[in-house]
Structures are given as structure tokens and as C-alpha cells.
Structure 1
Amino acid sequence: MPSYSIGTMAVTGIHLANLLLLVAAAAEHVRDLEISEGMPVGSRIGFIGDGTSPDSGPPYLVVPVGAAVDTDLSIDQTTGEIKTKVSLDRETRASYSLVAIPMSGDNVKVVVKVLDENDNSPTFPASLVNIEFPENTPREFKRTLPPARDLDLDIFNTQKYNIASGNVNGTFKLSSHRERDGVLYLDLQINGFLDRETCEYYSLVIEALDGGTPPLRGEMTVNITIQDVNDNPPVFNQSRYFASIQENSTVGTSILQILATDLDEGDNAQIVYSINRRQSDKDMLFRIDSSTGVIAVNKPLDFETKELHELVIVARDNGLQPLEATTFVTIKVIDVNDNQPTINVIFLSDDATPKISESAQPGEFVARISVHDPDSKTEYANVNVTLQGGDGRFGLTTRDNIVYLVIVSLPLDRELQPNYTLNVVATDKGTPPLHASKMINLLVTDVNDNSPEFERNIYEANVMEVSDPGTSVVQVYAIDKDEGNNSVITYSLVEPSNANWFQIDARSGLITTRAHVDCETEPLPRLTVMATDNGFPPLSSSATVLVTIHDVNDNEPIFDQSFYNVSVAENETEGRCILK
């Protein structure tokens, strides 16, 4: 059985039990002591007694509360001094408790509190973290990272996080928040736009700092891999390809190879080539290897049928939502035969028909003529093109002896000649020379360049003043040398002072009375008739109608007064006028 001593007095276990009963029954004082962790061994913590209670002084019977008191503290039972037996660690034990039983007086409960020091750095649970972000991750997206832990308290705990290195172009930023458990949690946030093709890998060194002076820190490396998304279409190394092949080449002959690349990776960069048959090569004269991009002859070629082939080539990647690009391949078929020239005429009118307006000025284009000689030995420049007919009013011009333009040489007048016959002749310089001709029947179209013309400038007419409304007076007539709407004439009267007496039919030009005419009011009314065509802008001319209104006895005498009153002197002489 263990024994304890008070001074030189030995106390057996039985006595200790009795003493503990006395402790429980006696009054107790609490003595609080403090010491910072990490102090050297033998550092004084304090005394059991505080010197204010002489009845509670040494010697003491010390009763530890917990086994660590004996291992970590040294207690002088004679003086009551308490010292460290080891270097204390608050993170291992934050406080010690013991009961000191003096020989007289009240019991003393001693609590030794170990004060925290900044002796622990923030520590991440893992020194290396690997994460991935798709390159289309939106800005401000957050990913929670494992937080750092610090065994110290309060200000000595983790206070902030920084990106120490590796944050290229500020692509990422950190945010943190402290939860009720006291841990400062960490989020990694997208601060820019990710592009795997620009930077596919980041290695961030993230440090956690506590609030010490200077702060202690811990580090964690975060390796970030940017995952590819199919955001780049294939790109051809040329925007257009050119090649030539003889028309007698056998099926399977390779013509050329095209190449496209894709900045993405994996399936997103795997390219498949094809020919867009909807837009080109519907007859499937050519084929392309889907993986190598080699274009070859698929069917026999015919120069005389088609000399130039335009292929629309599509490069499509194998992404989940595939992207594609297009390029153009021009393949020229080389002739091995002789052929006469061919002439193609394109009329430059609004509806592509052989016509020209009579208002066309010298130099204006009538038609575009392209001359083609399929013979490989004969270039376009070796074909001579001439224009026949047209009475010298049309000519032929060219800049390159490939494309010719029929132009107006002299002014035209449809009213004099409404059409012309032209003949285009193309002759090559072979031996013997071959030629071709193209007949053009050219129509000269009308413009509204002629005003209506009355058959005479002055019309004379007679009408009785007793004529009823609607009585015919005279019919005027005008003609227009133009045609179509330009020759459709509308008649009208220029409003005179007596306009309500007459009216004119807009189509026929017949003038009739509109109301009763009156010779006494105006015996010789003068009318002005306008003839206006339907052209744009309309043209017009005028004629004069002189109307003679014949009088009839349609007015009885009228007294100037209905009653006359006069006085006569009785001596008035005979014959004197007394009233008029």
C-alpha cells in the first residue's frame, strides 16, 4: 500500500483515505497559477499558499488530480513551491489540478493553467492535392480544398491563405470562411477564363499563415489539370488548294493531300475528312481518304464535259458535339484532245434577256461574252473574237482576250429601229483554224422619251346654249410614239373660270357639257386640254379648244322695278317726260 508524507510524518493508504474524508469535509480555497508552455525544466510556476492565510501554510499533503501531476510537476511539500519537471506542452495537456492539505487551516485546490504559445505551424492534411477543371468552367466557380489545421489557439491559429506561386496570369484566387468549429476553411475560385490550349497545367503553392509575429506557415501544392472540351474546330493549313490532273488518269490516281489540325486533344482532335456532296462533286468523280486526307480520282474524267472542279472539303473532329471546318479544292482537268472554240453569252439586262434600253449611252454594257477553247494547246488569248451586224451601233471590247463585252457605240432610238441582229464569231489560231459563231437578236426597249402629240393644236367647236348636260362638244386625240405604259394617254382639262360647264373623258378625249352653258355669261369659252402618258416620269402636252356658244331667245324683258310712282303738276306742258 502506498504511503504519503507530511514533513517527516508517514501517511499510509488508510490514513490517506481518512484525510480525503477530512478534505471533503473541510473548507477549500482555490489557487490559480499560470505558466507558458515550453518553459525550461525547473521553471517556477508558483506557491501553493499565497501568503495571506497563515493557517494554511506548509507542510502540505499533496493529493494530485490525475497522474500527469507527478510526471510533469515538481512540488516542494515543505515550501509549497511548484516547478516544472518537464517542458510543458499545452497541446498535450492544457491544465493540471492538485489538492494541498495543510496541517491546519483550510484545504487549497491548485489549478495550473498552461498558456498557449505559437509553437505549431498550420498544417495541411496532405502536402499534394491533384484536381481537374474542364476548360469551360465558368468564372467564379469554387472548389473546396482541404483546410490547414493549427493546434494553437485564437490568434495563433490559422488566419489566412495565400497563393505563394504558380498562379499564371492570376487565373485563380482563394476565399476562406471560418466555421463554428474554429477551422478556417479554404475554397479555390476561378478568377479568369480557362483555356487548355493556352495553359493546360497549373501548380499552385498555397500557404497557410497563423497570427504569430512572425507568423508560422504551412504549404500545400495543388496540381491543377485543365481538361479539354471540344472548343476548337479543325483548321486547314491552307484556305484553298489547287491541283491539276490529266483527263485520261486512271481511277484511283492520287491528286493531292490536304491537312487539318485541331488544338484540342484526344477524340476532340481526331479528324475525319469528307467531301460535301450537297455542295460539290455530286457526280462523285473524286474521293478522299477519311483519315489521311488524300484526294484521288473516283470515276473517269472528261475535260470536254468539265474542265474545272471545285470540291468543298469538310474536316470534322470526333468530339461529343463535333466541330468542323471547310476548305476548297480546285482541280483542273488537263485536256488531251482538240476542240473548236465555244461561245457563251450572258446578257446584262435586268432579266438576263437580249435587250437594251434605247436610253443606253455609248459605252454601256449589253452582254458579256466568254470564249472557251477546250484544246490544251490553245489558250484563250489565241482565239480571235469579232462582232458583225448592228449598223455600227454596237462594238466589242476586251481587256484580256478571255472575256469580251458587247457595248453600245452610238445612241439608239427604238422609234426608228426596235431590234438588231448581231453575230459573234470566235476563231482559233490552229491549223486549220476552227471557228464558232453565236447569233444575237437584240431588242431595243422603250423609255418614256416622247410626249403625247395632239393631231392639231387648236380645236374649234360649237354648242347651243340650250344644250342639255352631256351634250358632245368635240373629241380631241393625241398619240405617243412610245410603247406600253409609256404610250397610254390620259386626258384632262386645265381648270378654266367656267370649268363647271365642261368635262372630258380621261380615256377617249370626248369633251361634253357638264351643265347648261350661257352665251350671255361667256359666249366664247377657251378650254385647255392636257394629254399625259403613263410613263415614269410622265410626259404631257396640251391643246386649245375654242368653243362658240350660240345664243337663243331664252330671256324675256325684265323691268328694273316692279312698281313705279310719279307725281305730275297740273300745269305740266304736253310732251314732257314724267317717267322712264
Structure 2
Amino acid sequence: MPERLAETLMDLWTPLIILWITLPSCVYTAPMNQAHVLTTGSPLELSRQSEDMRILSRSKRGWVWNQMFVLEEFSGTEPILVGRLHTDLDPGSKKIKYILSGDGAGTIFQINDITGDIHAIKRLDREEKAEYTLTAQAVDFETNKPLEPPSEFIIKVQDINDNAPEFLNGPYHATVPEMSILGTSVTNVTATDADDPVYGNSAKLVYSILEGQPYFSIEPETAIIKTALPNMDREAKEEYLVVIQAKDMGGHSGGLSGTTTLTVTLTDVNDNPPKFAQSLYHFSVPEDVVLGTAIGRVKANDQDIGENAQSSYDIIDGDGTALFEITSDAQAQDGVIRLRKPLDFETKKSYTLKVEAANIHIDPRFSSRGPFKDTATVKIVVEDADEPPVFSSPTYLLEVHENAALNSVIGQVTARDPDITSSPIRFSIDRHTDLERQFNINADDGKITLATPLDRELSVWHNITIIATEIRNHSQISRVPVAIKVLDVNDNAPEFASEYEGFLCENGKPGQVIQTVSAMDKDDPKNGHFFLYSLLPEMVNNPNFTIKKNEDNSLSILAKHNGFNRQKQEVYLLPIVISDSGNPPLSSTSTLTIRVCGCSNDGVVQSCNVEAYVLPIGLSMGALIAILACIILLLVIVVLFVTLRRHKNEPLIIKDDEDLRENIIRYDDEGGGEEDTEAFDIATLQNPDGINGFLPRWGLPTQRWEERNAIQTGCV
């Protein structure tokens, strides 16, 4: 340490001596009568400066130097002399006092007020504060009056190499692709030195690698780190630790240094193809496995990582390409073999597949190494399983006429056991699909027979399910749907499509269409319906009406003459025979009711008689309306009567404070017999009008009493 301090002091004082020699070129002329001289340096230099100042003082010229220097980190026991403050107004009589103010005055820097010597009394650190601005002034010692204006100057702290370089952002991490060429840039690092970069070489840094060779190199001045070996392989070594040094003083001896670490990771590139772990894979699968089930997995290993290791799997050859498929599992990076179509042990017992694994992301830089793919052989053995019966058809469609005889055979279903050791089959009907038990099946041969009569007009289709069960293993069952269509036979006669009623105007004309009717048939002939219309044989020569067949399979009824009179006959009944075209044909007779009505001149019906000419059942519409009107009228009368009775002044009941005994007539006659009874009617006590005083007198004949009572009540 003393040797380093000596070198530092030597480096410091040498430029100061040169500066002192060349000082005359850095002066300016002060006023003739006053000047400050700021001196700095060693005591010898200060003595020479004092001598020169005396010479300059005699010539009325002064040196003014506004900057002083003090060495940082000075560790002496005595205060270090920074410089001397002097004015040419000082004749040496010690009547001038020097005053120092500004940064650090009195605490860091102290001035001898007589001699003007400035000392640093504390150890200074340039990195903490590089310069101090102070103000010097000369005043009269006795009066403290200023002898000249104050003068400002700067004390700079002289740097020494007391700070080592530091990597503030370390440790560092960087990546570089594997297989990179020589000199590929990895990253750069930066160190800082707190020393003065403009003075000396204290902050001049040089970089070097202490550890990490021969894989990496560093530029001494820029600290750019590069690869020093080509084609480094991540699969061989993925991570490297590099120790970097920064040294000041331009790297010369005696300089300070700092170190940091850099971790370099090689990133993966796709430079390796996939490789199957084995060339042959064996799998076995039951023949009854569900479609889509995973049968087995194959895996091709890839030394790369991430997307560079992703491979797609395909079946490129083999005798099972139509039955199997392979998919890629992105998570496990393997291929999953699945079943696409059903297997049959009795048909084929084994399959051979050739599968391929190929990288998805190819790096063209390494395509010359060969194809980035690999192949393997997969053998799949089919195992026998106890399979359920197999029907000869997945569905059955049967037809039967609705007039088929009971126990007649409708159709037959067949099934077999596909296993080598074939088992007999028994058939049955799922009764949940045949709740009415309309069909039976022979358990041995599967023939379906009719159990109950059919009616197509009630149900055209019957859907049942047939069950086939192995006799040796009742758990092995199969089901098949059977649709039974009921075929039509002509078993329903045609009839009117609705209840028709015709209206004939009294002033109608001959040939006028009274009503058009159509027929319907519940049967469903193949060629559609075709109806024949006719009148009853005894009404063929009907004098009033005739019929006409229309092209749309309907019938029109026409009037033969005019002059119909509803007073003479109000209703006519016209029976019509309707026949279908079935084999054999069926027919029925429907009766059309024709009413004679009064019409306007343009043929609009205005009124018809409410009474029907023939009422085979119930009442006519007119009669019902008349009865309803009478009921409504009667209800209105009852309501009015009750309302009027409530508005009378006298109540309809006997008041509680009246004594009925006042209305009883006492008499002592005896033996009157009927005469006594007629003389007084006990029912009068219950007559409300009796309350109003209209009571019969004794001996008044009953007839006269009734007449009087009627007059009073307003009934006569």
C-alpha cells in the first residue's frame, strides 16, 4: 500500500510541477492597487510563489489563480496544506486578516487569517464530492472592514485509484443456439468504476475471461462475449459458467479489478431425428373391443426438446390400415393406436402394421443429415371373445293384411352365434314393445305369428323388438327391431264426409244446385278412392230432385222444378246410396235433409220454418230456441216480482211486538158444527194481509170475506 500511494503521489505532483513552470501563461492582470494571489503546492513551491509574489507586488501586478487541488484519501496525521491566499495590499505589517467562506469552510477547510494558508482538516473522497466552491476576502484586522471585494475560487479533489470496477447488473444470464458458428455473439457486460474517468487511467477498464475457455471469448474493451468453439452441442452439454474480470489502470499492474459470472445456456435446435425405442411392438386386443378404444402406444424418442421434439405418427403400410388408426399425443409425445372398425376373430386373427414417426418442425440447416423420421413394425393379435348372437339383418320389415287369420305366419327372423363353438339360439318378443300381445314368435325358428285380429284403420304400423339369447350363455343376447305394416282390405263402406243439410228456395229455378256432397272411406285403396252415387230404386223417378256426379268425385243435388211451398211441405228427405270401388265393393245409404226456405230475389235464404217435417230424434232447432226464450221470460218475471215485494212499506212477516191473540175472536156458542168452522178460517193467521187488519168479522160469510180480501190486495 505505501508503494501504491507513492506512485499515486508521484503521478499527482508531476503535472503540478509542469503546471507551475508554465504558470505565467495562465495569469491575468489585476487592478494596480490590489490583487489576490492563490497559491498551492508543496512548501518549497509555496516559498517560491511567495518570492515571486513579492516581486510582482513591487511591480503592482498580482497573480490570480482561481483553482486549487487537494489529494483525496490523504491519510497523514497533520492537516494537508491546500494553498495560500495573499493580497498585494498586505505590506507585511499583519494588519490584514483573511476570511474564508463557502463549501466546507471551517469544517473541511481552515485558513490562517494572518498568513492566508488554507489547510484541509478532514480526509476527502472525490467520489463523494469532487470540488468545493469557496470565497476569500481580505479585511482590516482591527476594523474588519473589507479591503477589496471578495474573490471566489474552487478547490478540486484530486483523484487516486481507490475504487475497483463493479458489475452492477451481475450475475448475468444469456442464451445462444446450439450448433452456432464460431464468433456468434452471445451478450455483452458492463462494469463501472467510480474513479475519475478523465484523469489518469483509474477508470480505464479492460475485460478478460478467467473461466469459460475455450468455449467463449470476450472483447477486451467492449466486453462483447462470443462463441470460441463452433457447433457446440446442447445434447452433450447445455449450460456453461463464464467468469469475467474487469481491471482498471488499462489492465496494467497495480490496477484494481472486479469479477462477475455469466451463465450461458445453449438453446435447442432440431438437429436430431426421432428414433423408436424398439423396432417391433406386440399388442393383443379382444375381438369385441369398443370402436375407438386405444389398443397400444408406440414412442419415438427425440433428443431435442420442445417443438423440435414433436413428431407426427402415421400408419404407412400393413394389412390393417382400414381397421386401425394412429393419433399423436402432444403431451406424451407418443402415438396411440385405436380401433376404427369391428374385429372378428373367426375371420382374421392377427394384423401387421408399419408405423412412422416424423418430426413436425424441420430445420433446413440440418436436412442434409438425412430424413428426420423413423419406422417400426406393430403386430396386433385378435383374441377370441364370447360374442352375442348376430341377426341376419339389422332391421326387419314385415307386411300382413288386416283380415289375416289368427296364428298365421307373418314373417321370420334368423340369428346365429358368431363364435367357433356355436350355441343354439332362442327367440322371444320384448313385451314392452307389444303390450297388447298381438304377436307371438316361435322360440326355436323365429317365426312371427298373429295372436289377435288387426285393424288397419286403428293402427297401420306395429313396431316390436325381437330378442335372441344364447342357450349356453344367457347373458349373451341381441335385439333387433321389427316393423310390421298392416295392409288394407276393403272392410269399410263409404259415407258422407259430414252431416249435410240442403236449403231450397221457394222461388228457386229448375236445375238449380241445392247441395254438393262428398264421401269418405276409412279404407286406403292403392289407386285412391272412386265413389258411385245413386238414389234408392224406389226413388229413381223422384219428381222433385235429381243427382249429378262431378269430376272431383263429389255429387250435386239439383231441383227438378220450381214452385216449392214450405206451407205445403217444409222438409224433404233424400236417401243416397254411395258405393266404393273395392273388391268386393261396399256401399251405404246416407240421407240428405232438404229444407224449403223463403229467399230473396237473388237467392239468399232469409227464413226457414223452425219445425222439422220429420224429427227422428230430439227437438228441432226452432223448438229449442222457443223453449229457451220462454225460460228467460219466466226468470225475468220472477226477478221483478221479488224486487217489487221488497219495496213494499209493510213487512211480509209478523212483527215481534204484535200479539196474535188480539185477532182471536172469543165466543160461547155451542153446537155450530160446520157453521162454526165456516164462520172463522184459521188460515187467516198465516195470511200476511191479516196483519194489516183485514180480518173477517164473526158471522161474516166466507165468500164475502174472500171478496173483500181480494179487493184490498188488488186482485179484482
> TM-score scaled to structure 1, two decimals?
0.42
The answer to which structure, 1 or 2, has the higher relative contact order (CA under 8 A, 6+ apart) is 1
Tell me which protein shows more helix as a share of its residues: 2
Structure showing greater radius of gyration is: 2
Tell me which protein shows more strand as a share of its residues: 1
